[in-house]
Structure 1
Amino acid sequence: MSESTLGMLTRYNRWANQRIFDAVAALPDGEALKRRETVFGNIVHTLSHCYVVGEIFRAHLEGREHGFSSRNFSEPMPLAKLREMQQAIDNWYIARSDAFTPHDAEETVHFKFVGGGEGAMTRSEMVLHVVNHTTYHRGFVADMFCQIPVKAPVTDLPVYAREERAARALQQPG
């Protein structure tokens, strides 16, 4: 996978996460933490799972232990704090992907899964996994919006690409 594709994907992930967090912050009081029939029980805990998995793979990319014994925090944290942490890790993935050389991107990293077992992925596969995994769980969040019912924000890659192209066109001298 090219470095430019990784950079685009990590920027897309940040954009989509910002949209989701904006929408969650605008929900009626109590809805983000309301118990729902879903894997992680509520919206905030679903988002925190995405953050934790991002931190786990960040540690793998940095060649260090991550310190997690689970793929989520035991309890949901305040949305504002989680958002701040998510923004920081999204920015880290962008900077890291931008810094990859072709050799770095295709280097295989060995690691241990939280649930046990050995894993091995290239650095680019790890970044792709984090983006794909987060996209998958944003779908769960969108479903929970429907349960409220509130319209979920659009976080599709083609919409991001359209907005980015439009923004670049506005920046072109003219």
Structure 2
Amino acid sequence: MNDTLELFRYHVWANKRVFDHLKKLPDDLYRRPLKSVFPTISDALAHIYSVDNTWISIMSHESPEDIYAAMTSSREEVNDATLDAFEAYFDKITARYEEFILNHQSNLETISEYPLKFGVLRANYNDLIRHVVNHGTYHRGNITAMLRQMGYEGISTDYGFYLFELKR
């Protein structure tokens, strides 16, 4: 299997573990305000989702206006989402990424230029997908810390646990 697709599937697995864990906790917990990295767990999830949407738009070489619109609309569409609806939005972006990766298997290492707000980024698709996964990992860690801050256990989403689960 393609290494990039496998790494992205880890990202999907980890997000799913977070959703499954949150569903076992009090219903309102993911919207409970606290002083932390994000005001709520919902905001952390919305941020992961918005960034995932933004990077797929960037990799698809959409116009800067379309990229900004995708970033804004993705944040708005999950604004009042239930946990189940949130998960469905993540499923939708997952399908888009998997299709993108499969359609670009032959050029995942090709360097492209991406004009971004802070300058031109020169990178290949593999690098950008690694960034998306790394970004999600970082913020899932924030969610675990936020849960602990509220007196609840987090859920491990380490890559090693993913590998362990695959090899069972």
Query: Normalising by the residue count of structure 1, what TM-score does the alignment of the two structures yield?
Result: 0.82
Shift of the 97–117 alpha-carbon distance from structure 1 to 2, 3 Å rule, reads: same
Q: Which stretch has the larger CA shift, 70-79 or 118-127?
A: 70-79
Instruction: Give, in whole Å, the separation in 2 of the partners of 1:70 and 1:58.
Output: 14
What is the CA–CA distance in structure 2 between the aligned matches of 1:30 and 1:131, rounded to whole Å? 27
Q: State the match for 2:37 in structure 1.
A: 39
Paired residues of 1:10 and 1:97 also in contact (CA < 8 A): no
Distance (whole Å) between structure 1 residues aligned to residue 73 and residue 153 of structure 2:
28
Matched-pair contact (CA < 8 Å) for 2:50–2:74: yes
Instruction: State whether residues 108 and 121 of structure 1, in contact with CA within 8 Å, keep that contact through their aligned partners in structure 2.
Output: yes
Query: 1:21-73 CA deviation, whole Å, 9 max, x = no partner?
Result: 11122221321111112232110110010000000011011111221566973
In structure 2, how many angstroms separate the alpha carbons of the residues matched to 1:69 and 1:82?
A: 16
1:90 matched to 2:94? The reply is yes
Q: Matched residues in 1 for 2:45 and 2:52: separation?
A: 11
Matched-pair identity in %: 24
2:114 pairs with 106, 110, 114, which one?
A: 110
Q: What is the match of residue 80 of structure 1?
A: 84
The residue that corresponds to 1:120 in the other structure is 122
Query: For structure 1, which runs of at least 5 residues remain unmatched after alignment?
Result: 167-174
Task: Write the letter of the residue equivalent to 1:105.
Answer: E
Residue pair 1:49, 1:71 contacting (<8 A) in 2 also: no
Structure 1 pair 48–102 and aligned structure 2 pair: CA distance change class (3 A): same
Distance in 2, Cα, partners of 1:72 & 1:99? 23
Regions of 4+ moved over 6 Å: none
Picking from 21, 24, 38, the partner of 1:23 is 21
1:17 to partner: Cα distance: 0.5
Deviation at 1:165, TM superposition (A): 1.7
Q: Normalising by the residue count of structure 2, what TM-score does the alignment of the two structures yield?
A: 0.85
After TM superposition, give the deviation of residue 92 of structure 1 in Å.
Answer: 2.2
* Structure 2: 5+ residue stretches without partners: none
Whether the 8 Å contact between 2:53 and 2:74 is mirrored in structure 1 is no
Verify the 8 A CA contact 2:31 2:40 in the aligned structure 1: yes
